[in-house]
């Protein structure tokens, strides 16, 4: 005769939950514990990296808050807690605040406590436009951690729509989105292509045109670059095909490749006969170069035969069936052939992944406050968290950047027990097997090392 199940020792309040197991119905006894457990023990690696790079000091330098109450949270703790919540998966302030229920996350993040939603709201509401713009200094600091690059870095300029269908927040107005005219914000962003780092960010109203404030944004960014960071070329889509932007870049002596809008005056060149087109070494692609109206500018048109390149992008003209066309303006020297210019611009497509990752994995699509400056501030924190993740991976010697979802599941989301063994804070990660524990020790030793990482010493994530 089967004995009845006995209550768990030391746990009077327990219940039984029935589940469908692989061998039929099973029961699981559920109880509770007072141990300080965290679902995000791996965030200690993040906190160790922030300490090594003195991130708290950098954050304190740009925050405008001057709390007077002795019981107030430190502003730096609020900023670090907000970024920690974003890395753990939060895309709203209420979801960041929910981390308070994790008994050990505050100790893992190195903050006094994870604040409530209302406290985070008040913290962000204290930002005015000047203080919110000042957070761009954090991205400049991140760029300062990069080495100089022979030939300079490639700067990709972009704008995109952040949809907010409620439409009640400051700055949310009806503007162009892929789904039509809807309430949104329309920020400007600049990224360094080679390290995949965000160089600058400005939030704008939803009805802003692509080029609105673009010249001022670029001017400010280029004026404040770290001294050892040089821009070799700039790439932008047709939304930035604007005389003010072109003249700014030329005045500063910067090379650029910008997509042209195929106005009527350019469409006539697309209708040229085959004798005007030069075949390239890629089947189905022909090109021609047109003398620019401004000395030093080159106008390049590339046509794709749809029969040979059905997946190619570009504009379709009814007058020229069977082809798609791309047009670009550049001031790269003639040593750059038309195909080389086209290929260089095509590399910009990779920057679209930055926008997708920031929107869906760092929560920018979800964060929207009542005040415009507060919304920009929370976006700046999310972007700085992104930049710090890039720098963390460089610290570990990783050759290819991983998205946050990969870091979250392989590194940050690791259960752990928090305790004070012999009076010393102790975090015991739930890691089974000596090979995995060896990997975690390697990560920790990397963060403790004062030497720059070498490729041969890179941490191998495939063994996690």
Residue 318's domain comprises 132-360
In this predicted structure, what is the pLDDT of residue 2? Answer: 43
* Contact predicate 413/392, CB 8 Å: no
Q: In this structure, is residue 447 part of a structural domain?
A: no
In degrees and rounded to multiples of 5, residue 162 shows phi and psi of -105, 105
Q: In this structure, is residue 141 part of a structural domain?
A: yes
Q: In this structure, is residue 290 part of a structural domain?
A: yes
Report the alpha-carbon distance of residue 186 to residue 204 in Å, rounded. Answer: 5
The CATH number of residue 177's host domain is 3.90.350.10
* Angle between helical axes of 75-87 and 117-125 (0-180°, round to 10): 120
The residue behind tokens 């919540």 is: 85
What is the CA 175 to chain-centroid distance, rounded?
23
Residues contacting residue 322 through CB under 8 Å, at least 6 positions apart:
305, 306, 307
In this predicted structure, what is the pLDDT of residue 211? Answer: 87
In this predicted structure, what is the pLDDT of residue 271? Answer: 86
pLDDT tens, residue order, the chain (464 aa):
444 445 445 445 678 888 888 888 888 888 888 889 999 999 999 999 999 999 999 999 999 998 888 889 999 999 999 999 999 999 999 999 999 999 999 999 999 999 999 999 999 999 999 999 999 999 999 999 999 999 999 999 999 899 987 778 999 999 988 888 899 999 999 999 999 999 999 999 999 988 899 999 999 999 999 999 999 999 999 889 999 999 999 999 999 999 998 888 888 888 888 888 988 888 889 999 988 788 899 999 999 998 888 888 888 887 888 899 989 999 999 999 988 998 999 889 888 889 999 999 999 999 999 999 999 999 999 999 999 999 999 999 887 889 999 999 999 999 999 998 888 889 999 999 999 999 999 999 989 887 665 544 556 664 44
Q: In this structure, is residue 282 part of a structural domain?
A: yes
Q: In this structure, is residue 212 part of a structural domain?
A: yes
Residues contacting residue 148 through CB under 8 Å, at least 6 positions apart:
228, 229, 230
Q: In this structure, is residue 208 part of a structural domain?
A: yes
Region of residue 322 (left: phi > 0; alpha: psi -120 to 50; beta: else) = left
In this predicted structure, what is the pLDDT of residue 142? Answer: 96
Residues contacting residue 353 through CB under 8 Å, at least 6 positions apart:
none
What is the CA 440 to chain-centroid distance, rounded?
25
The residue behind tokens 């609020």 is: 78
The residue behind tokens 């939304």 is: 239
Q: Whole-prediction pTM value?
A: 0.91
Q: In this structure, is residue 218 part of a structural domain?
A: yes
Q: In this structure, is residue 202 part of a structural domain?
A: yes
In this predicted structure, what is the pLDDT of residue 22? Answer: 85
Report the alpha-carbon distance of residue 154 to residue 384 in Å, rounded. Answer: 20
In this predicted structure, what is the pLDDT of residue 219? Answer: 94
In this predicted structure, what is the pLDDT of residue 266? Answer: 86
Q: Among 416, 403, 395, 386, which Cα is nearest to 458's?
A: 395
Sign of the torsion angle spanned by Cα atoms 7, 11, 13, 19? negative
Number of domains in the chain: 1
In this predicted structure, what is the pLDDT of residue 452? Answer: 60
Q: How far is CA 308 from CA 97, 287, 338, in A?
A: 54, 15, 20
Q: How far is CA 281 from CA 278, 285, 312, in A?
A: 10, 8, 16
Q: How far is CA 203 from CA 41, 272, 364, 377, 420, in A?
A: 34, 42, 11, 9, 44
């Amino acid at each position: 005769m089967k004995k009845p199940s006995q209550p768990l020792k030391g746990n009077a309040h327990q219940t039984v939950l029935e589940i469908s197991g692989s061998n039929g119905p099973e029961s699981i006894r559920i109880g509770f514990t007072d141990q300080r457990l965290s679902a995000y023990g791996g965030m200690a690696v993040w906190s160790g990296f922030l300490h090594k790079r003195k991130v708290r000091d950098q954050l304190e330098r740009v925050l405008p808050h001057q709390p007077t109450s002795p019981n107030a949270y430190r502003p730096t703790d609020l900023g670090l807690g907000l970024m920690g919540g974003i890395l753990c998966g939060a895309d709203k302030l209420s979801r960041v605040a929910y981390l308070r229920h994790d008994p050990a996350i505050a100790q893992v993040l190195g903050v006094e406590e994870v604040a409530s939603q209302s406290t985070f709201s008040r913290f962000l509401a204290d930002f005015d436009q000047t203080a919110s713009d000042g957070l761009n200094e954090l991205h400049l600091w991140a760029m300062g951690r990069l080495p100089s690059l022979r030939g300079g870095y490639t700067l990709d300029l972009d704008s995109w729509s952040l949809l907010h269908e409620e439409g009640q927040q400051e700055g949310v107005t009806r503007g162009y989105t892929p789904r039509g005219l809807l309430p949104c914000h329309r920020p400007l962003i600049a990224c360094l292509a080679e390290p995949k780092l965000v160089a600058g960010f400005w939030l704008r109203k939803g009805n802003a045109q692509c080029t609105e404030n673009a010249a001022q944004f670029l001017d400010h960014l280029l004026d404040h670059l770290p001294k050892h960071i040089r821009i070799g070329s700039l790439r932008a889509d047709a939304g930035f095909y604007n005389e003010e932007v072109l003249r700014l870049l030329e005045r500063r002596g910067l090379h650029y490749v910008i997509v042209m809008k195929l106005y009527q005056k350019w469409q006539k060149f697309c209708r040229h006969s085959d004798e005007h087109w030069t075949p390239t070494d890629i089947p189905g692609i022909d090109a021609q170069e047109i003398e620019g109206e401004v000395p030093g500018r080159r106008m390049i048109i590339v046509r794709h035969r749809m029969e040979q390149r059905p997946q190619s992008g570009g504009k379709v003209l009814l007058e020229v069936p069977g082809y798609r066309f791309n047009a670009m303006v550049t001031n790269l020297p003639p040593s750059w052939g038309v195909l080389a210019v086209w290929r260089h611009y095509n590399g910009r497509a990779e920057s679209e992944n930055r926008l997708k990752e920031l929107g869906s994995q760092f929560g920018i699509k979800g964060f929207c406050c009542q005040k415009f400056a507060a919304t920009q501030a929370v976006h700046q924190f999310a972007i700085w968290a992104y930049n710090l993740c890039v720098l963390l991976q460089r610290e570990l010697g990783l050759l290819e950047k991983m998205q946050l979802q990969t870091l979250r599941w392989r590194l940050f989301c690791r259960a752990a027990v928090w305790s004070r063994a012999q009076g010393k804070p102790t975090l015991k990660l739930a890691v089974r097997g000596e090979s995995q524990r060896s990997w975690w020790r390697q990560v920790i030793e990397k963060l403790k090392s004062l030497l720059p990482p070498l490729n041969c010493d890179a941490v191998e994530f495939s063994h996690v």
